[in-house]
Amino acid sequence: MTNWTRAIALSTMLAFGSTTVGCGYILHPERRGNSGGTIDGTTLVFDLLWLIPGIVPGVVFLIVDFSSGAMYVGGRVAMNGHGNGNVAIKLNDSKTAHQLELRVVTASHKVIDTKVAAVGPTIHGQTVELHVGTPTEKVFLQIDDHEHPAVQVPIEIL
pTM for the model stands at: 0.48
Q: Which pLDDT belongs to residue 76?
A: 47
pLDDT tens digits for 26-42? 777 777 777 666 778 88
Average pLDDT, the chain: 77
Give yes or no for a contact between 70 and 24, defined as CB atoms under 8 angstroms apart. yes
Residue-range domain boundaries for the chain: 3-68, 78-155
Q: Which pLDDT belongs to residue 17?
A: 57
- Return the CATH number of the domain spanning residue range 78-155: 2.60.40.150
Q: What are phi and psi of 2, to 5 degrees?
A: -80, 165
Q: Which pLDDT belongs to residue 22?
A: 59
Give yes or no for a contact between 70 and 32, defined as CB atoms under 8 angstroms apart. yes
